[in-house]
A and B are shown apart, each in its own frame.
Chain A
Amino acid sequence: DTGVSQNPRHKITKRGQNVTFRCDPISEHNRLYWYRQTLGQGPEFLTYFQNEAQLEKSRLLSDRFSAERPKGSFSTLEIQRTEQGDSAMYLCASSPAGLGQPQHFGDGTRLSIL
């Protein structure tokens, strides 16, 4: 399978714990995006990278959230001191650079905070 891969698929944790998610993009794509989706809503943009550079961050990305893409390949999204409101589906997408390139999504990591 050469699509976007996300791990884990599900994560259940207690409030206050830290969690980390991983995204492996389509190999030839140098742009990588993170979104958050709550039930019944469309995905909301969090941040994106071009190669290893983080080019844009949403105001939704509080200081408890950090994303990295150290070698311009896979990316990690960490949430520190999780809160109930962090419960959501976290989606990763990738695309080639260039104008008008569609983003291709993984199947997400579903986070549940107890």
Chain B
Amino acid sequence: GESVGLHLPTLSVQEGDNSIINCAYSNSASDYFIWYKQESGKGPQFIIDIRSNMDKRQGQRVTVLLNKTVKHLSLQIAATQPGDSAVYFCAETPMVNTGKLIFGQGTTLQVKP
């Protein structure tokens, strides 16, 4: 079946270090991917997206890498800050059907001061 999964449920990093959060997806028809950040009691917040015709996209302090060969997606956060502490989800959808996002279970990022 369709699934998007994350490799680690919890990631703990030191403030100022770089963080890498990984995601594996199984639906080869997926061609649009999004990373969301969710803080306690709030809805998912859009971070960055990437289409399957790209393998890398950069934002402010964040980079998303896509490896379609092994169906792997990663989110890199540079100079991690305490405010980055949250649960991070990757989500995927086929471009031809932009209705349904399929989410993984999430990775909790803990930033130690």
Contact = CB atoms under 8 A, between A and B. Distances in A.
Task: Tell whether A pairs with B.
Answer: yes
Interface of A: 4, 6, 31, 33, 35, 40-45, 48, 55-56, 58, 91, 93, 95, 98-108
Interface residues of B, number: 26
Given A43-B101, A45-B102, A56-B100, A100 B49 contact: yes
A99 B51 CA distance: 10
B105 A41 contact: yes
B105 A40 contact: yes
B83 interface: no
B103 A44 contact: yes
A93 B44 CA distance: 9
A4 B91 contact: no
B104 A107 contact: no
Nearest to B50: A100
A100 B98 contact: yes
Interface string B80-95: 0000000001010001
A48 B97 CA distance: 11
A100 B43 contact: no
Nearest to B44: A105
A56 B96 CA distance: 13
A42 B46 contact: no
Contact of B43 (A40, A56, A102, A106): A106
